[in-house]
Chain A
Amino acid sequence: MATEAEAEGVWEAWMAAAQAGDARAYDALLRAALPLLRAVARRRIHDEHEAEDAVQDALLTIHRLRHTYDPSRPVRPWLAAICERRCIDRLRRRGRHQGRETPIDAFGETLAAPAKAGGHEASEARLTAAELRAAIAELPESQRTALYLAKLEDLPLAEASARSGLSVGALKVATHRAVRALRRRLGGVTEDGG
């Protein structure tokens, strides 16, 4: 119990130091808080990858709102509340998207049929998806964040900007560069492969 209480006091001190610009304390706090954030996200979101994405959203918001933390109050509820909020937003958005989308499983037969007829096309589609994933993973951080928020999450620019801490202009530039880099990279793959 004493260790836990002590640890909580340490977290508050780290956060206060982070507000003063201490990067090492901030790094220690965010890493120490990861299990808490992951627990909050996993309680709300069953899909492991989606929950991890929510944790990353929460980290971006924590960073953006770090000036709102009051060091006289415990930091855990503050961190957990932000993470809860990001999870709820993510679930809501997914709900909205699902309303517009039809699960691809419903077309399993339709998709499988041409694969039998022309296995080459299907394997090419699979290759492209894997390549796309790899290409996105290799993008610089800011471009990946911009692409993720503005294109994949389909957020309005202002909201993507609020979440990422990047200005609207920087987001536009980063998204544009990311798309160009992907096109260049994947265009090259198709030429090489086909």
Chain B
Amino acid sequence: MAGVGNPKFLRPVAHTDADVGHAITFDAPFTLDCGKTIAPLTVAYMTYGTLNAAKSNAVLVCHALTGDQFVASDHPVTGKPGWWDTMVGPGKPIDTDRFFVLCANVLGGCMGTTGPAEICSATGRPYGLDFPLVTIRDMVRAQALLLDALGIEKVLSVIGGSMGGMQVLQWAASFPERVVSAVPIACAARHSAQNIAFHEVGRQAIMADPDWKGGTYQLHGTQPAKGLAVARMAAHITYLSEAALQRKFGRSLQDREQISFGFGPDFQIESYLRHQGSAFVDRFDANSYLYITRAMDYFDLAAEHDGVLARAFQRAKSRFLIVSFTSDWLFPTAENKHVAHALNATAAIVSFVEIATDRGHDAFLLDEPELFKTIRGFLNAVAVTVGA
């Protein structure tokens, strides 16, 4: 049984005119890859556009590590525009006049989908570290439940960048018959040692904060704000490129004429990172950050298939468009191309595009005209082919 209602967010809704979307609750126990179960399971989601009568125009957007379901509308907590409102909307490359776009907050998240901040029904207390470890595949299976509930058998496309791209790959591997086309952007079929290393730095920063309290901070009315902010600062550097940082900040000083011979934010880049850190704390849950980064670390699509990535896609029926960015060092072109070649080896229908930009990994969120052109052209061609 499933019930639909308003989502509950970790932080208060500050912008009451923003659409909060929906939350659907599944009472049946949801078994995770780790073997444990969650019950009930709530999935919070947003939709844009209209599902056609044939239910053939659905486009599922998968969000990244710190993203959420507010793709193309104002965020009810921060009031900021949707994180992909340059890509998704009326007349945009993912055209909501034409497609029914939906995005669900990932399992383990803190924007309404069940995660470590939620109250555990068995104990009456927030899960905290009692929340079971989740995987990218668990996230995808939770989204599949949502599609089932909405009566959507097939999606015209699954699209996402970074961790969203991992979900896209998992969708194509786990539910090949439900995915007409797949657009993994700036991602990889496995998390690299370097990427695991950066995540570990972030997690250690959170866990070293005395306010983390072994993950029980909600019971104490605190939160590891400093640790989470440092985690965000370190991660944020990996989303940019050296060239973009240099262009944007260089060695410019912040509100001062000279260096201070102290440890205040002398440089603009320091002030910028501090701002990124504190703004993040206002909207994100530290334990969610631990769980979701771990899910990315555990992601290794080939491992599920005897170490041969091509086998993961053996049953794939989707048309693929894989996109990378030249200056992305977090998920470099080589990783994306590796996926493309594995798909080629299975005779899948795959396109690979490498967009030239100096804006690093975050380019997928930014105004990149070639990215827009590529996605618009691809989606249109897929829609024409299947008559959606």
Does B bind A?
no
